[in-house]
Amino acid sequence: MNFLILVLSTILSLFPQTKTTQKVEKKPRQAPNIILMIGDGMGHAQLSSALYYGKSEPNYVRFPIVGLSRTSASSHKITDSAAGATAFSCGVKTYNGAIGMAADTTAVETILEYLAQREWKTGLIATSSVTHATPASFYAHVPLRKQEFEIAEQYLQSKVDFLAGGGQRFFFNRLDEQNLYPEFSRKGIQLDTNGLNPYQWEGNKRYAYILAKDGMPPMHKGRGDFLPRATTMALDYFDQTAGDKPFFLMVEGSQIDWGGHANDGDYLVGEMLDFDAAIGAALDYAEKDGNTIVIVTADHECGGFAMVSEEVEVPFRGRQSDYDSLRFSFGSGGHSGAMVPVLAYGPGAEVFSGIYQNNSIHAKMMGLLK
Ligand SMILES: [Zn+2]
């Protein structure tokens, strides 16, 4: 018996590498990957809804760092998504409607453009059209958000490596009868208008999934797992093509806002749960990678949304609040001025705790590069 153990341990000692897990060694990156996730219209109640209406504990409870963002635009107390996203992308407070421009309509370099200049891989994913205010603010510069034809043309000139969302009507069979289809191959962009089909990723190619005429369908109309799956695909693309360079990815849950505008709680909650699934995909990646920061925030609250108690008739006592049954309540069909949450995980995440202006999020991200 002792002899057998001796033989076995001798054999094992000849193969010491079998005891350690195999890991592909990557060159160390000088800065962390940045994944910025924007829940459009996601105030605290929207975020909280996932606690009560999801099948399991939300992914966002995994974040160790929490902050509050003050959302006002330069022109108004209540911001729109253009000024909100431009604060993140360019670091400036600007007027409602501005895309990638300061309050005096001068174009400001976006964080995506700055990083692409330094050979970072970049990606944008949204459930709106890819030319909508939030994604557009990372690559386009126009004075008015509704210039989506112009924004589409600027995308082609941009350095966005991975793009996914809706918005076909701003590229093909346009109202101005222009068709940008031939420009995609001319710019080395692999275009897919059918679905999230994976490719043999090539580092010198750009990829664009433009999968709906306008915005992507809402969750309750069958969008399925587009957002978490596109997020996972983008991370896979970066993993295979970025080499020793970091990447910057923006993921937007665009339609939490649209559920708020529609005062439709089921719409809103479906979108919130889907956004949380994408958050889970990003966090899983970041935990495994060890040098990726994930920041989740919102541009503004929308709908004055709340989860309030149902009122019930109690015999002899009249109408009373039943604190164990929730119903949706809306105070507005538009945005509100409430502060919004900021959640952060990863190297340097501590700087996102506290209460600060929305454009500080840009400065904090830039600070991670040092
Ligand atoms: Zn909105």
Evaluate if residue 14 carries a pLDDT over 50.
no
What span, in angstroms and rounded, lies between the C-alpha atoms of 34 and 351?
14
Q: How confident is the model at residue 30 (pLDDT cuts 50, 70, 90)?
A: confident
Q: Could you tell me the two tokens for 256?
A: 């939490």
Q: How confident is the model at residue 2 (pLDDT cuts 50, 70, 90)?
A: low
Evaluate if residue 24 carries a pLDDT over 80.
no
**Mean pLDDT across the chain, nearest whole number?**
93
Q: What is the pLDDT of residue 17?
A: 42
Distance 257 CA to ligand 1 centre (A): 5
CA contacts within 13 A on the Cβ side of 15: 7
Distance 76 CA to ligand 1 centre (A): 14
Distance 259 CA to ligand 1 centre (A): 9
Distance 146 CA to ligand 1 centre (A): 13
Distance 360 CA to ligand 1 centre (A): 21
Distance 136 CA to ligand 1 centre (A): 15
Looking up tokens 């990372």, which residue turns up?
A: 138
Q: How confident is the model at residue 15 (pLDDT cuts 50, 70, 90)?
A: very low
Asked which of 2-16, 105-119, 188-202 is least confident by mean pLDDT, the reply is 2-16
Distance 94 CA to ligand 1 centre (A): 16
Distance 119 CA to ligand 1 centre (A): 33
Question: pLDDT per residue over 150-181, tens digit each?
Answer: 999 999 999 999 999 999 999 998 999 999 99
Evaluate if residue 16 carries a pLDDT over 90.
no
Distance 131 CA to ligand 1 centre (A): 15
Distance 51 CA to ligand 1 centre (A): 23
- Name the region of 285 (left: φ>0; alpha: ψ -120 to 50; beta: rest): alpha
Question: pLDDT per residue over 182-192, tens digit each?
Answer: 999 999 999 99
* Cβ-contact 140, 121 below 8 angstroms: no
Distance 70 CA to ligand 1 centre (A): 16
What residues have a C-beta under 5 A from ligand 1, the ion? 257
Distance 255 CA to ligand 1 centre (A): 9
Nearest to 212, CA basis, from 254, 251, 256, 274: 254
For the stretch 214-251, what's the b/e string if a residue is b when 16 or more beta carbons lie within 10 angstroms of its beta carbon? ebbbbbeeebeebbbbbbbbbbebbbebbeebbbbbbb
For the purposes of burial, counting CB atoms within 10 Å of the CB of 254, is it exposed (0-12), middle (13-18) or buried (19 or more)?
Answer: buried
Distance 289 CA to ligand 1 centre (A): 34
Distance 81 CA to ligand 1 centre (A): 6
Q: What is the mean pLDDT of residues 309-335?
A: 95
Question: pLDDT per residue over 111-155, tens digit each?
Answer: 999 999 999 999 999 999 999 999 999 999 999 999 999 999 999
What span, in angstroms and rounded, lies between the C-alpha atoms of 206 and 227?
19
Distance 130 CA to ligand 1 centre (A): 15
- The H or E element that residue 66 is part of is strand 65-70
* Domains in the chain with CATH codes: 40-367 (3.40.720.10)
Look up residue 41 and give its amino acid.
Answer: G
- Percent above pLDDT 90 for the chain: 91
Q: What is the mean pLDDT of residues 230-235?
A: 98
Q: What is the pLDDT of residue 27?
A: 56
